[in-house]
Amino acid sequence: MSDIRTPDAHTREGARADVIHDIGYRHYEGPRLGPGYATRSLYTSSLRGAFGLGRSGKSKILPMAMCVIMALPAVIMVAVSVYLKSGKLPIEYTYYLTIMQFVIAVFTAAQAPVLFSRDLRFMTVPLYFSRPLRSSDYVRAKFAAMASAIFILTMLPMLIMWIGSMLGSMAFTYNLEHFGYGVLAAALYALVYAGIGSLLASLTPRRGFGVAAIIATFMVSQGLAQAIFGVMRFKGHEVSGHWVAMLNPGMLIDSTVQWIFNVPNDRPNIGVPSTLGGVVFLVWIAVLVCGTFALLVRRYRKI
């Protein structure tokens, strides 16, 4: 007769009660893929969810609309430049992302709560694991999915602009180089916005509260930074006024990328106060990314 033990017997022997146990009914002979595969599965599922894939049609409307809004000005700009044979795009790659940072903020505010707040509200995930994920694995998968979604959103117009420059027979080396600057800026936007948005979304199980908190954070920081810079420039402290970029992610990233690659800049509100200021901006970006991720891990260890 087969040795069939009850779950209580397993618990008495010290086995964990929150995992699947072999109690003798049917032995599993298949591969055991481990926590790495589970983390990747959660990442893939979350990334698809950020764009409404695998969900209802209503869930796809907002993220897809944000992608269209993000890309449409780039399409029009490229079409006009090619038609007029201007030989150069009217807007730099990195500056385009600064102009469109409101769209990035809306996308982050709308989708970060989808990835984080829903799980908190219902205390479940749309996948079934034979072993529970560690909190750090969960955060890593969700953070990576949110950052990847924002990176896809920001890279879409960059690709359109670069392909358009090639179709318009514009300077290949120049556009390839500045496209690279745009890729770096898109990566920084993805990491910083994902960090801030994910952390705020993890603080409440209510999706509406998460959306409002994220939008308010990005919009208030942008308005405050621009207002303070305007006052300091009016008082004759324009160089010192560049420190306010630390208050707004968009200004911070644009100023840092401009400084790293020494890109010519005619915008008064974009720039670094000094070489030391450029280093401080880089460190501040690292602090924002690493700090928000560490706080996320700490948050989910308590849940």
- Which tens digit of pLDDT belongs to each residue from 244-298? 888 889 889 988 998 898 877 777 778 888 888 889 999 999 999 999 999 999 9
Q: Is the pLDDT of residue 145 over 80?
A: yes
Residue 4 confidence class, pLDDT cut points 50, 70, 90? very low
Q: What is the pLDDT of residue 10?
A: 43
Mean pLDDT, rounded, for 87-97: 87
Share of the chain above pLDDT 90, in %: 37
Cα 201 to Cα 205: distance, rounded to the nearest angstrom: 8
Q: What is the pLDDT of residue 7?
A: 43
Q: What is the pLDDT of residue 184?
A: 94
DSSP-assigned letters across all residues of the chain: ------HHHHHHTT--TTS----SS----S---HHHHHHHHHHHHHHHHHTTTTS-HHHHHHHHHHHHHHHHHHHHHHHHHHHHT-SS-SS-HHHHHHHTHHHHHHHHHHHHHHHHHHHHHHT--SS--SSPPPHHHHHHHHHHHHHHHHHHHHHHHHHHHHHHHHHTT--HHHHHHHHHHHHHHHHHHHHHHHHHHHHHHTT-S-HHHHHHHHHHHHHHHHHHHHHHHHHHHHTT-HHHHGGGGGG-HHHHHHHHHHHHHT-----TTSS-SSHHHHHHHHHHHHHHHHHHHHHHHHHHH--
Q: What is the pLDDT of residue 296?
A: 92
Q: Is the pLDDT of residue 13 over 50?
A: no
Residue 18 confidence class, pLDDT cut points 50, 70, 90? low
Residue 108 confidence class, pLDDT cut points 50, 70, 90? very high
Q: Is the pLDDT of residue 138 over 90?
A: no
Highest mean predicted confidence (pLDDT) among 16-20, 201-205, 236-240: 201-205
